[in-house]
Structure 1
Amino acid sequence: MITRYSFFSALTLFIAVSAFADEHPSHLPRIVVTATQSERDAFLVPQAVSTITPEFIDNSLESMTPDLFRFTPGVYIQKTNQGGGSPFIRGLTGKQVLILVDGVRLNNSFYRFGPHQYLNTIDPHIIERIETVRGPSSVLYGTDALGGAINIITRKRTDFSKSLGYDGLLSAHFESASEAGVFRGQMEGNWNRLGIIAGATGKRYDDLDGGGSSGKQIPSAYDEADADIKLNYRLNEDEELVFAAQYTRQFDVPKTSEVTLGDKLKFNYAPQERRFGYLEYRANRLGIFDGVRLNISYNNQREGEEIIGERTPGIETRELTDVDTIGFTLQLKNRVLDSHVLTYGAEYYHDDYQTRMKRRDRTTGSKRTLSPGTPDGATYESWAVYLQDEAHLLDTLDGVFGIRYNRYEAAGEVADQTLGFETDAVAGNLNLAYRLTPNLNLVGGLAFGFRAPNMEDFFGRVDFFNEIPNTSLQPEESFSKEIGLKYRSQALSAEVFYFHTDYEGFIDRATVGRQPDGTPIKQRRNINDAEIQGVEAGTEFWLNPQWRFGASLTWTEGRDARTKAPLRRIPPLYGSARLVYYPADRVWIEGSVWWADDQDQLAAGDIEDPRIGPDGTPGYTAFGLKAGYTPHPRHELLVGLENLSDKQYKAHGSGIFAPGLNVLATYRFRF
């Protein structure tokens, strides 16, 4: 009854508030690019799109990127450790959700099964805004975008009013629950038409103090160093060159649940590194084209695992996987007959693997080489072509139609035998927006999505089972239907979406035999079909010039298509609300609440997962309070209290409790 009451009460509030006529401050159009690769008012985009704004990021008091999603409808963050944060969108996570940086793929073919930590390798200090497309986005972005796509859009110089200008920033941040210290130095400026932003960040986190009786969660401490630079050169009013480079290294990040809930004495990601860069040419008009984007990118993800088990405390296993990804993207636009915008292009990505695995006797120091989870020297590549049409069909009807073809090839040597595999996939979408009134849009769509098998799927992993390769895997496929309402007036914006998605060929481990000692032999196979449905709602309301209210609500249900049993790790009903007060131009105060219902609809894998267990995950309600004051344009102070009641809670599937009563403070000095 709690679930139904909460759900229908929130929807009733949404409908009542949406019908309110007002004369309050104007809602400025929120421009997004990720959904269609064109700059469009989010209200007019015929898809479910969420935006985390620059103001929210600046005032968030969050030092980790995953925590910025707390108030985003349709995005649920699971944390295996303090250094993690895996986004769930429409019931999916890990390699079934695509992460982009400035429209460039961050995902590579190494992403493992289930939740992962890679979103947390992006420093929030470099982020301008975040756009999330909920639902399959395979036409524009290819594999992994089954649940949706998250585009991290980074800052760049926009002020060219002076021929020579510069700005600087020094900031310090503190969090009491982890005794964290975060320090940032940044320079920004321009010389004529060349803009630059460059900075460095240092982070230090102690073991996290959870709420209630959980106490210090050991081990969860780690350190991090970040550096970044972004150059943008304006060739003219329509053309720009952009160069960006980012580096992140996290030191000795514990996978907390493997120690506190599992059978490991030590499980550290050491190191966890990300090197990322691109060179991009952009033109709003070039010859016969109404838009050109040419991007060359480099992405290196280097991940080490250091493991000591309880059964063999004298043995330490170390595995290192180094993946280099080179990417090329060409995208073109043409306006046709004043009613169509064609976006089309081609992509190519190539992954190279350097891997090694060793087992060290901690007593004697002797080492033995083992076969790594992915073969050393393996390669994985993809190429694609796609076409999208943004069509103005009637005065009150717009549509977006698209199709994509992708080809995937990989090769690697296993037991002195070279194995290769090939597969391809096709995606398509049809989305419509119908203007019911000037303030209300009815939107809906159909979309075919896919996730191509990656290296872990084909070759298996040695972390959990003895696995054998499967070179005949096929892509996971989805067919999604959604319908929604978008409302916007001077003071209010609101949306509600219902979606239903059918999935075929989910890849999972299957037992295909046993070794002489009885150890099961596993192989990845396309063995599961599923259906996931849900409702996502969000609203933002200016009560008057001093008060702003925002809220979100998300419900998701996932079932096995054959047995109707619950799917693994499906988030519970959850939501949030924020009330912001602006008593003066340079002061703001915010109160917030975030909550989740119990999740006791469990798959067999959930019951066996020590992070969840047979009783599921209890619901919770947590409160926060924060404020900001800018006494001078050069000085800014933000303070906050998180989890005011010191509630012991964690997101469903998490391996670590959320912070208890947490004092946060940030000071910024601009020069």
Structure 2
Amino acid sequence: MKHPPLHNILLLASVLSAAGKTAAAQERPAARDSVHPLTEVIVTANKFEEKSRFVAQKVEVMHAPEIRASLSNNTGGLLEQSGKVFVQRSQLGGGSPVLRGFEASRILLVVDGVRMNNAIYRTGHLQNVITIDDDITEKVEIIYGPASTIYGSDALGGVIHFRTKDPQFHRFSTNISARYSSAFEEYTGHLDVNAGGRKFASLTSFSYSDVGDLRMGARRNRHDGDWGKRRQFIGSVNGVDSVLSNADERIQRNSGYRQYDLLQKFRWQPKEGHEHLFNIQYSTSSDIPRYDRLTDLRNGKLRWAEWYYGPQDRLMAAWQFKSSRLNGFFDQLMAGASYQSVEESRMQRAYRNPQREHRIENIHVAAFHLDLRKSKGRHELNVGGDGQLNFLKSTAFRQNIQQGEKQTGLDTRYPDGQNRMHYFGAYAQHLYKIVPGKLILNDGLRANYTALRCTFADTSILHLPFTEANQRHVTWSANLGLIYLPDTQTKLSFDASTGYRAPNIDDIAKVFESAGGAQLVVPNPDLRPEQTVNFDLGAARQFGERLFLELNGFYSLLRNAIVLDAFLFNGKPGVVYNGQLTPVVAAQNKAKATIAGFQAAAQWQLLPRLRAYGNVTYTHGRYTDAKGARMPMDHIPPVFGKAGVQFGWKQLETEGYVLFNGWKKSKDYNPNGEDNLVYATPEGTPSWTTLNLSARYPVLPWLKVQAGLENLLDIHYRVFASGISSPGRNVVLKLQASF
């Protein structure tokens, strides 16, 4: 992969930014003069803006200054570097967030008020989050715990809501940034332009990233051995697949990719208190190698010559209307409609096999919502309704790489007939200030209807015992929270809530080779919705201007939990797949599961410009199988967190911090799930800690330079459940110009 010289990118950013010397407003420094986490942070956990002190659920907010200061190279990295979200990776072009032991389709991703989750979001690991451009994101809200009352299906572990920049009226501005990182061989450029008049404004944004093959760390602990070393890879020599020696076994060959992100927003305010927002987003990529699969072995030899995702295309077009001056019972209104078109594809070819297998999924999603708010006295009432309609087409074929001929007869990932899944729901959320400023009640209720229909046109390949799968469910969810504010420095909260996830097309009808070929996932049309009852207890205390402490404990009980487990398919525990007898597993409703843990955070203002901070998350999960045995839940991360210090001197902002993960022992892995023990050591995933440094300085009023040194000690480590080792020592340089 060839890259333009770094100095050309930096020179381009400098020349373009020098075209204007109007300084942008300065962002607040990282090392603040005092600690005030209990100030009135505005959140949208209940869709409408609300003071965080009045919300019983735990909500974390990443604001624009923190996002701009991040040196991450995609949105998954942005979440991971916060230390508050666990992120799994199967390949470099990915990032699958985990909230409280729930991952993928069990957490809800939202961008600008639009659900990203669709009918093929899987329970395994997802890379969809990286299709949101972190360079145009200005706010991230992380809602921990079930949020189904407001958001519907999938919000079992919580919601991650990304807010991109909106066009600004009465403003003409340009932002340019360029970033280089050595361990990734990454070059990223970004440009956004805002043009705003009195009633109409436009924002245009474009980002491009070229990421090379990732280099892992050199220092290994006693548990690593040769784990993760890339000694050989499959390449082409004179058109023939050949096993080649890697000149540098730390370079994870065939892991790089490219990505393009485009955003266009129009904002129109026909009169005060009424506003329309038109939002178009498009993200695409090059082919993204599935790195973990490229390291799979069969009979002691590399198995796959090719295994990659095709370009991941996400197109979203959305309209939203807001009114804060209604005449009638309700005070505020939000209404919107959206359309999304997503294409995902998977290509794989075995070593020296001329037949490449192509599996392509095209899903179209139409959605709408209507939300209303009434505020009167000590009461706030939010009511609304929403719907999402999913239409999926799944195709597959083989192609001879030498002759170019296409052949049918390959099993599709999802049913090859008509596939539809629709959600419709209505909710009411109430806030009651029992004792204003002291005692607050949150309560809400939602009803949801889900309909799914899949048809199998060709059942001859796997000899399916059915030709269609149908599901119809009515599901309820509720929440009840109580907040006690004895003074302005303290918050005590209790929240009880239910969540649910309706089984989707991926759960019910997927055919998928999992765990590096060790098992085959087959359809099971008899699934029911999984539901959870969750209890949260939180305490936060601010001690004067200097010290802040917070502790949140949670306990979740899952009913009808959907987990992968051994399965009889056509009365047999295994089938011949890709020429090999493979054990069969399927998604099934287990009796119950429990997940419990805690989150703790602290901030300490040591000196006027010196601040220390830290946060840690611990999660424990078990489920009971059909025989009554207690088994580890999959997706349960080890203890993880972040701790650091921030120091500011004049306009210089500096930070030193550690990111850490505890041990994940092999005995705590789920034997049939997505924990990927095959990509860990025999003992599991070892604990690790990285030391990181960064500095940021405005060399000119309109130009900021940021430099970072990540994984300073160059340790080798791999995040739990991941199939690719993390970066070694990484030098990052970033320029940001605003005019």
Same fold (TM over 0.5): yes
Query: Which residue of structure 2 aligns with residue 270 of structure 1?
Result: 310
Is 1:149–2:159 an aligned residue pair?
yes
Deviates more, 1:600-609 or 1:563-572: 600-609
User: Is the contact between residue 83 and residue 640 of structure 2 (CA under 8 Å) also seen in structure 1?
Assistant: no
Residue deviations 1:116-170 (CA, integer Å, cap 9, x gap): 1111111101101100011001000011110110000111134x3x4xx311122
Question: Structure 1 stretch 197-206 or stretch 467-476: which is displaced more?
Answer: 467-476
Matched, 1:502 2:557: yes
Deviation at 1:536, TM superposition (A): 0.3
**Is residue 379 of structure 1 aligned with residue 442 of structure 2?**
no
Given candidates 363, 366, 370, the residue that maps to 2:405 is 366
Is 1:627 equivalent to 2:695 in the alignment? yes
Aligned residue among 203, 208, 214 for 2:214: 208
Deviation at 1:485, TM superposition (A): 0.4
* 3-state DSSP of counterpart to 2:271: coil
Distance 1:528 1:313, change over 3 A: farther
Paired AA for residue 238 in structure 1: G
Q: What's the offset of the Cα at 1:608? A: 6.4
Contact 1:71/1:577 (CA < 8 Å) preserved in 2? no
- Tell me, which stretches of 5 or more residues in structure 2 are unaligned? 1-31, 220-228, 230-249, 298-302, 459-466
Partner of 1:545: 608
Indicate yes or no: 2:540 matched with 1:486. Answer: yes
Q: Over residues 193-220 of structure 1, what are the superposed CA-to-partner deviations in whole Å (9 max), with x where a residue is unaligned?
A: 2122111111101100011165111221
Q: Retained in 2: the 8 A contact 1:27–1:491?
A: no
CA distance in 2: counterparts of 1:617 and 1:462, whole angstroms? 25
| CA deviation string 1:457-482 (max 9, x = no partner) | 12122445666544432101101111
Which residue of structure 2 aligns with residue 342 of structure 1?
381
Distance 1:25 1:101 in 2: 30
Partner amino acid, structure 2, of 1:409 = A
Deviation at 1:242, TM superposition (A): 0.9
Structure 2 counterpart SS, 1:582? strand
Q: What percentage of residue pairs aligned between the two structures are identical? A: 27
In 2, Cα distance between equivalents of 1:39 and 1:473? 37
* Cα distance between partner residues in 1 of 2:632 and 2:38: 41
Matched, 1:167 2:173: yes
Are 1:511 and 2:553 an aligned pair?
no
Comparing 480-489 with 605-614, which one deviates more in the overlay? 605-614
Q: Does the C-alpha gap of structure 1 residues 304 and 633 become closer, same or farther in structure 2, counting only changes over 3 Å?
A: same
Counterpart-to-counterpart distance in 1, 2:520 and 2:336: 40
- Structure 1 position 657 matched with structure 2 position 721: no
Which residue of structure 2 aligns with residue 408 of structure 1? 450
Give, in whole Å, the separation in 2 of the partners of 1:170 and 1:661: 26
Partner of 1:477: 531
Any conservation in 2 of the 1:25–1:544 contact (CA below 8 Å)?
no
1:336-390 deviation line (CA, Å, top 9, x unaligned) = 4x12111111111001112210112334443222342223431111100111111
Partner of residue 610 from structure 1, selected from 667, 678, 682: 678
Secondary structure of 1:208 counterpart: coil
Which residue of 2 is the match for residue 230 of structure 1?
A: 265
Q: Are 2:419 and 1:354 aligned? A: no
Cα distance in 2 between the residues matched to 1:147 and 1:424: 21
Q: Is the 8 A contact 2:324 2:332 kept in 1?
A: yes
1:57-68 counterparts in 2 under 5 A? 57-68=67-78
Which one of the candidate residues 388, 396, 410 is aligned to 2:429?
Answer: 388
Superposed CA deviations along residues 376-407 of structure 1, whole A, max 9, x for unmatched, are: 43111110011111111124210111111111
Aligned residue for 2:490?
A: 440
Secondary structure of 1:95 counterpart:
helix
SS at structure 1 position matched to 2:201:
strand
- Structure 1 residues 30 and 437, CA gap change in structure 2 (3 angstroms): closer
Preserved CA contact (<8 Å) 1:27 1:492: no
1:597 to 662, 667, 682: 662
Which amino acid in structure 1 is aligned with residue 640 of structure 2?
Y
TM-score (norm 1): 0.91
Checking the alignment, whether the CA contact within 8 Å between 1:73 and 1:537 is kept in structure 2 is no
> Which residue of structure 2 lines up, in the alignment, with residue 217 of structure 1?
252
By how many angstroms is 1:418 displaced?
Answer: 4.8
1:559 and 1:197 map into 2 onto residues whose CA distance is 47
Q: Which residue matches 2:286?
A: 251
Q: Corresponding residue for 1:284?
A: 324
Counterpart residue number, 1:421: 471
Question: Structure 2-normalised TM-score?
Answer: 0.83
> Using a 3 Å threshold, how does the CA distance of structure 1 residues 436 and 23 change in structure 2: closer, same or farther?
farther
Over 3 Å counting, the alpha-carbon distance change for 1:373 and 1:516 in structure 2 is closer
Q: Deviations over 1:38-67 (max 9, x none)?
A: 322323321111111211111112221111
The alignment status of 1:577 with 2:643, answered yes or no, reads yes
Give the Cα–Cα distance (whole angstroms) in 2 for the partners of residues 259 and 27 of structure 1. 45
What CA distance in whole angstroms lies between the structure 1 residues aligned with 2:273 and 2:706?
38
Q: Deviations over 1:416-439 (max 9, x none)?
A: 645432122111111111113331
Match runs of 1:69-108 below 5 Å: 69-72=79-82, 74-108=84-118
> 1:523: Cα distance to partner?
4.1
Contact 1:316–1:360 under 8 Å retained in 2: yes
Q: What is the DSSP-based 3-state SS (H/G/I as helix, E as strand, rest coil) of the residue aligned with 2:210?
A: strand
Question: Structure 1: which amino acid aligns with 2:279?
Answer: A
The 8 Å contact of residues 511 and 523 in structure 2, kept in 1 or not, is answered as no
| Residue type at the aligned position of 2:149 | V
**Alignment match, 1:535:** 598
Corresponding position of 2:129: 119
2:347 pairs with 1:306? yes
How far residue 525 of structure 1 moved from its aligned partner, in angstroms, is: 2.3
What is the alpha-carbon distance in structure 2 between the residues aligned to residue 418 and residue 659 of structure 1? 45
SS at match of 2:348: strand
1:9-37 Cα deviation digits (max 9, x unpaired): xxxxxxxxxxxxx9946568353333222
2:188 aligned residue: 182
Query: 1:596/1:468 Cα in 2 relative to 1: closer, same or farther (>3 Å)?
Result: closer
1:249-296 CA deviation, whole Å, 9 max, x = no partner?
111111111112454322111111111121000112311221101010
Aligned to 1:18: none
Counterparts in 2 of 1:547 and 1:619: CA distance versus 1, 3 Å: same
1:450 aligns with 2:500: yes
In structure 1, what is the Cα distance between the partners aligned to 2:585 and 2:642? 41
Answer yes or no: is the 8 Å Cα contact 2:210–2:259 preserved in 1: yes
**TM-superposed deviation, 1:658:** 1.1
Measured after TM superposition, the shift of residue 583 of structure 1 is 0.2
Query: What are the equivalent positions in structure 2 for 1:517-528 lying under 5 Å apart?
Result: 522-527=585-590
Find the counterpart in structure 2 of residue 10 from structure 1: none
Match of 1:559 among 622, 625, 630: 622
Say which SS state the counterpart of residue 39 (structure 1) adopts.
Answer: strand
- Partners of 2:590 and 2:623 within 8 A in 1: no
* Residue identity in the other structure for 1:475: P
Which range moved further: 40-49 or 547-556? 40-49
- 1:5 corresponds in structure 2 to none
What is the alpha-carbon distance in structure 2 between the residues aligned to residue 516 and residue 175 of structure 1? 46
Contact 1:587-1:630 at 8 Å conserved across structures: yes
Aligned 8 A contact 1:261 1:610 in 2: no
How many Å separate the matches in 2 of 1:133 and 1:608? 27
Check conservation: 2:677, 2:684, Cα contact below 8 A: no
Q: 1:224 to 1:30 in 2, by over 3 A?
A: farther
What is the aligned partner in structure 2 of residue 19 from structure 1? Answer: none
